[in-house]
Amino acid sequence: MFFKYMPPNCYTIKALRENAFFAASKEKLNDAREFDFDVDLSKGEGGLSESLEVFHELLEKGISINPGGEGIESDKNLVEGLKEIVDKGGSTRGVEEVVIRRSEVLKSFYKYLIYMKYKTVSFSKNNNNPLMWGHYAQGGRGLCVGFQPNDEQKVDIKPVIYTGKPVISLRDVLNSSRERDVLYHKDGAWGYEEELRYVKTFSKDGSDDFMNFHRGQIKTIIFGSEVSGKFVEEVFSALEEGGGDVCYGLLDKHISQLASGLRYFDHQWADKGKVMLRALGNDFDSNVQKSRMIAEDNMSVEDMLKKY
């Protein structure tokens, strides 16, 4: 089972009601360096000759090595001329400069196409990470969905590798089966997320920006320790509209005897669990409201507690 932390807002309710998780493109991810990778000429075993061979293979497939330039035929003539210099053992300094410049252009264009083509939905291996509750569930006011992917979805869900920006060879640009691999990498500072990433192609116009699922794939809903009664009711309403059995839980900071701080209400006790969750959520709402009513400027906490 995978876990998805979600904040207490209308988009979470919409996702639960319509059985669809939003898929984010690069510009909507929270790390500006997401989906980033580099293409390094030195990664190829054949050096300069291999780079020119890759250029030739790209051109044979009708792929320009200078997008927006003078065209494929002009590119072919250039590559043939560069190969002739290398084969004759002449000075390769000028050849290297041309190859590097064209590679940079090709890399930028290739990266842009990858960014435009793929979108992602993020999950975590962990349902009780305080940083995740803080960053993605609005400080424990939201929830964490326990989600079971189907066999088709599992193919496209892989663990994120926290080694920073991956570096591929120019030849990897030709390998369409590997083009998604670079998107499963992230900077090591994000390792606490224990992310599992679903990467797929989606429509360019945004009409298909969702990972659709069946209601039965939602196995658990864990509410944060600061959840409000209003949000609990909205979640119950959204899930009841779609049917299916859901095991509810609560991240309860007040249960000291449970090391994990998690308390579950299984299917058999779902109704009783709902009653308790409603009560806890409403208690929180009530306490917040009361604290707002009694709080006054320059009043000490001790005096406020006495007034309470």
Between residues 26 and 205, the one the model is more confident about? 26
Q: What is the pLDDT of residue 31?
A: 82
One-letter amino acid of 14: K
Q: Which of 133-142, 158-167, 289-298 is least confident? A: 289-298
Compute the half-sphere exposure of residue 180: CA atoms within 13 Å on the CB side of its CA. 16
Over range 184-193, report the average pLDDT: 92
pLDDT at 10: 94
pLDDT at 215 over 80: yes
Share of the chain above pLDDT 70, in %: 73
With the C-alpha atoms ordered 178, 183, 184, 185, is the resulting torsion angle positive or negative? positive
pLDDT level of residue 273 (50, 70, 90 thresholds): low
pLDDT for 247 equals: 74
pLDDT for the residue 283: 55
pLDDT given at position 102: 79
Tell me what pLDDT residue 268 has: 44
As a whole-number percent, the residues of the chain with pLDDT over 90 amount to 24
Backbone phi, psi, residue 161, to 5°: -100, 120
> pTM for this structure?
0.74
Domain ranges of the chain: 1-29+118-308, 38-116
pLDDT at 95: 82
Q: For residue 95, give Cα distances in angstroms to 21, 40, 66, 67.
A: 49, 16, 15, 19
Quickly count: other Cβ atoms within 10 Å of residue 223's Cβ: 25
* pLDDT score of 171: 73
- Write the pLDDT tens digit of every residue in 87-108: 877 777 788 888 878 777 777 7
The DSSP-derived string for 129-177 is -HHHHHHHTTTTTSEEEEE---HHHHHTEEEPB-SSS-EE-GGGGG-GG
The C-alpha atoms of residue 46 and residue 100 are separated, in whole angstroms, by: 15
* Among 216, 251, 214, 213, residue whose Cα is nearest residue 232: 251
